[in-house]
Structure 1
Amino acid sequence: MAEKGIFAGLPWWVKWIAVPALVLVVFGSLITTVLGFVIGLVFKVLLLVALVGGLIFIVKKFTSSSSSKSDW
């Protein structure tokens, strides 16, 4: 196993446990902020799609079922 680079000669746990743990400690709040923003954005997009779909359904139901406006 001829590894080159900064991790050459170090134990496996440094590469696979210690370094990711340090990244999470240093950038943890940034990662959670980005994830929170993305999840919130996806939720808002899905909510918008549901509301627009419901509005279209209601408008089509009341405009195509009767020609008069006495249903309201």
Structure 2
Amino acid sequence: MAAKGIFAGMPWWVKWVAVPVIALVVFGGVILTVVGFVVNLLFKALLFVALVGGLIYVVRKFISGASSSRTDW
């Protein structure tokens, strides 16, 4: 309710343009740090999943290839 009183006599662009721009200038570094951290974490998680999936694929290929060669004897 207090915010409505503060912006009561102001033009629309103060509320919808100027205040968000000021917030981005003040908190821009923090926002970029948090977004960068989240993107970095998602990239590492995706890389981990891809490496584990590749390892499982290689091990299964190796085991199935080794077991089929043993049955050929």
TM-score by length of 2: 0.83
User: 1:59 and 2:37 equivalent?
Assistant: no
Structure-1 separation of matches of 2:33 and 2:47: 21
Q: CA deviation at 1:64?
A: 1.4
**1:12 counterpart = 2:12:** yes
Query: Offset at 1:9?
Result: 1.7
Gaps of 5+ in 2: none
Q: Offset of 1:65 from its aligned partner?
A: 2.1
Percent pairwise identity: 68
Structure 1 runs (4+) greater than 6 angstroms displaced = none
SS of residue paired to 1:44: helix
Residue type of the partner of 2:9? G
| Number of residue pairs matched by the alignment | 66
* Bigger fraction of residues in helix: 2
Q: Which residue of 2 aligns with 1:41?
A: 41
Structure 1 gap ranges (5+): none
